[in-house]
Amino acid sequence: METLKLIGHIRSTLHELKDCPLQENEGAPGASIMIDSEYIDAVSGLKAGAKILILTWLHKGDRSILKTKPRNNPKASLTGVFATRSPDRPNPIGLHVAEILSINNNVISVSNLEVLDGTPVIDIKPVI
């Protein structure tokens, strides 16, 4: 199996898990995707106003968790993590939809991203 390549990281005002909204449409701030220099050519074709899917590695997720209470609701029944968007899962891959606000060299500024500052980015795809 090949190893996963990180293409950059997130710059955000979110620094603690407790500060993160559960979804991007629940009050998440704008953020920046800092693309590593070796992947800058891969940004070609992205434009301001476009919606993108951002795949992140939720590095603070607990990889041993298989069941959780959805939306951190203590009254909810335990549910398998594959039926939730919990960051705690065997492979903590985050999937986020955002709009590109601007692109300046290796910095892609985006709307509403609910991840912590420093979160590794593993891929970006256009919303089709």
Residue 80 covered by a domain: yes
Residue 61 covered by a domain: yes
Q: What is the pLDDT of residue 20?
A: 67
CA gap 57, 18 in Å, rounded: 18
68, 125 Cβ separation under 8 angstroms: no
Residue 1 covered by a domain: no
Q: What is the pLDDT of residue 32?
A: 97
Q: What is the pLDDT of residue 76?
A: 85
Q: What is the pLDDT of residue 69?
A: 80
Q: What residue ranges of the chain have pLDDT lower than 70? A: 20-27, 71
Q: What is the pLDDT of residue 88?
A: 87
97, 53 Cβ separation under 8 angstroms: yes
Residue 2 covered by a domain: no
Q: What is the pLDDT of residue 24?
A: 64
The CATH number of whichever domain residue 82 belongs to comes to: 2.40.30.70
Total number of domains constituting the chain: 1
Q: What is the pLDDT of residue 71?
A: 67
Residue 18 covered by a domain: yes
Q: What is the pLDDT of residue 120?
A: 97
Residue 15 covered by a domain: yes
Range(s) of the domain holding residue 121: 8-126
CA gap 49, 100 in Å, rounded: 5
